[in-house]
Amino acid sequence: MREEEGIQVLRRLTEELESGRSVALATIVRIRGSTPRKEGARMVVGREGTILAGTVGGGCGEGEVLEAVQATLADGLPRTVRVDLTEDLLSLSPAVCGGIMEVLVERVDR
């Protein structure tokens, strides 16, 4: 993750918490093979499921993470999501990476 993007993610996280809003923080903790983002990439997501800052790769993989975000925001339990991008090799998707990434999803409260 670029330094500028990391600062943007942390700023937005701080803003949300100072406003008393809970958010989810998704962080890529492990990768294997080719993935759109590397370890340490982060994304802040609001209660409505809106991405507020950062990204963990976009596309279908990010969609899987957003599903876990909703569950984590609802019950407060952290989750690890395994996003298998090798399955996209058989699709017509132009964004084929062919790797696997594990993303930790945590609810962050004030």
Q: What angle do CA 74, 47, 8 make, to 5 degrees?
A: 130
Q: How much is the pTM? A: 0.88
pLDDT band at 93 (very low <50, low <70, confident <90, very high): low
Q: What is the pLDDT of residues 51-71, one digit of tens each?
A: 999 999 888 788 999 999 999
Q: What is the pLDDT of residues 24-41, one digit of tens each?
A: 999 999 999 989 899 999
Total domain count, the chain: 1
Measured over the CA atoms of residue 34, residue 37, residue 38 and residue 44, the dihedral's sign is negative
Question: Whose CA is closest to 24, among 81, 96, 76?
Answer: 76
Domain of residue 66 covers: 3-108
